[in-house]
Structure 1
Amino acid sequence: MPAAETAPAAAPAVPASACRPGALAGDLRVAVTRAVRRIRQERSSEAITDGQYAVLAALANGGPMTPSALADHEHVQPPHMSRTLNALVTAGLVERAEHPTDGRQVVVSITDAGQLEVRETRRRRNEWLAGRLARLTADERRVLAEATVLLRRLAEE
């Protein structure tokens, strides 16, 4: 190896005590929270809040929904969802339309501008994370790939 290059750092050894459920729960919770917080900083627009982006992503993934269905999906109270939707309508990122079968309700759908916001934010987040992952060794990336499977399983239980 040329003198200018250095070998990647070896993965740190994990003490057995860190693998106990209680200790691991605390460490994992903090690590995941910090990672999510950092990833959320990568947005295509600083004008969109995390909550507004979550609504855009829900509509992009799930299609049109009623405001009450969105509130349930996002685990927020209907008045909070109304304020979020008002801001997104004003920004031109979602639109309201009459419900096809229930005249008392409306359906919210994402606009082309909202779709662009979601695509660009996802692109930026993936690009940021891919850049960090590229700094890891192949073995470290394999460990993270295996951990991803386990994290999904934990989240779905």
Structure 2
Amino acid sequence: MPSVEKVTRTDSGLASALRISVARLQRRLRGERDPDNELLPVGQLSVLGLLNRFGDSTVGELAALERVQPPSMTRTVNCLDDGGYVVRRKNESDGRQVVVALSEQGKQTLANDRRRRDAWLAQRLRELTPEERSVLRQAAPIIERLAQA
């Protein structure tokens, strides 16, 4: 089997290696979820993260951010609302629209989950050399740009 360094010499090799590595890291981080939140599916947790990052949003805005159809997002928001993780209210500028916001329970759930996964990742980062951490500091914004494309 060729080394990662050899495979990543081409753009297609880099694409493959990066896709595999990011997917593995994502699965590993998923395994570090807060056990108290394990009944909350990853998709619902992702919506809580969007609301935390972007603030109150309509179902349509959330659907666009998650790249899903609005009816799918409506089902997700319904589940989050039923569980007490979000609250709905009328849009102040357009009373026909409904805005979704994080509830206190949603904020706490998200914070607990992130704290646990961040602690695991911070520990793994401490095991790297300073040079490796420096490379990751440079790569993180680039990976974020790729994710937003």
What is the CA deviation profile of residues 70-115 of structure 1, one whole-angstrom value per residue up to 9, with x for unaligned ones? 1111111111111101110111000111221323221111001101
* Displacement of 1:41: 2.7
Q: Any residues of structure 2 matched to 1:1-157 within 5 Å, and which?
A: 14-15=5-6, 18-44=8-34, 45-155=37-147
Aligned length: 145
- Whose helix fraction is larger, Structure 1's or Structure 2's? 2
Following superposition, which runs of at least 4 residues in structure 1 exceed 3 angstroms of deviation? 152-157
Percent identity over the alignment? Answer: 42
Unaligned runs of 5+ in 1: 1-11
In 2: Cα distance, 1:95 partner to 1:27 partner: 41
* Displacement of 1:143: 2.7
Unaligned runs of 5+ in 2: none
TM-score normalized by structure 1?
0.82
Structure 2 CA distance for partners of 1:98 and 1:148, relative to 1, 3 Å: closer
In 2: Cα distance, 1:131 partner to 1:89 partner: 34
Say which SS state the counterpart of residue 85 (structure 1) adopts: helix
* Displacement of 1:133: 1.2
* Displacement of 1:156: 5.3
Larger Rg: 1
